[in-house]
Amino acid sequence: MKSAAVSIASNIAEGAARGTNREFVRFLNIAAGSASELDTQLEIVFRIGFGDNGTMESVRGKLDRVVRMIQGLIRSLR
């Protein structure tokens, strides 16, 4: 889970440093994929009983917000 979370920020940073919108969008899509991976891992943690519903919903809400920001940035760059 830590790796997926770090990957989100790392891909955004790497894409921004590439210098072209096309490359930035490519890395933003990879970051969105890492967010999806993290969401899946959160669901697994919840289903096997390692997380409580309140914490899960809080983290998911924040992750959803990050995904919406990534998607908005992708739309603005296209």
pLDDT digits (tens, 9 = 90+) for 10-54: 999 999 999 899 999 999 999 999 999 999 999 999 899 887 888
pLDDT digits (tens, 9 = 90+) for 59-74: 999 999 999 999 999 9
Domains along the chain with CATH numbers: 2-77 (1.20.1440.60)
pLDDT at 4 over 90: yes
pTM above 0.85, yes or no: yes
Angle at 32 between CA 37 and CA 66, to 5 degrees: 100
Helical spans, DSSP H, in 1-78 = 2-17, 21-47, 53-77
By the 8 A CB rule, do 27 and 43 touch? no
Q: What pLDDT, on a 0 to 100 scale, did the predictor assign at position 29?
A: 98
Place of tokens 């210098």: 19
Q: What pLDDT, on a 0 to 100 scale, did the predictor assign at position 74?
A: 97
